[in-house]
Amino acid sequence: MSKITVYEKPTCTTCRNTVKILAEKEIDFEKVNYYIKPFSKNKLKTLLKKMNMSPSELLRKNEAAYKELKIKENNYSEEQILDLMVKNHDLVQRPIVEIGEKAILARPAEKINELL
């Protein structure tokens, strides 16, 4: 099996649940706190491609930053949304789990089983 990487915010309940599922299955994985090691634009683009998602589909729409930036009202392009996500990590849904050429948004955490 390819290396598994979990892109997470450690205080996020769904992230902790995803990590717990992997640990219980005794699966080796790496955790990346993307608040400490931020996504580059290229990395986020690559993950989106692997998930077959657009930046707007990965947005956390209930975050204060989403409302403050008036993303819905401003009709940003997908490229502009991607740029906003790189600058403001709170806008990125989590956790993202990457295995080789595949990645998923593990919401709910049990969705991780689709990759295993």
Would you please indicate which residues are annotated as catalytic (active-site) residues? 12
Query: Which single residue is written with the structure tokens 């080789």?
Result: 100
Contact 96, 55 (CB under 8 A): no
Residue type, 40: S
Sequence length of the chain is 116
Residue 63 has φ and ψ, to the nearest 5°, of -75, 150
59 DSSP assignment:
B
Residue 114 has φ and ψ, to the nearest 5°, of -65, -25
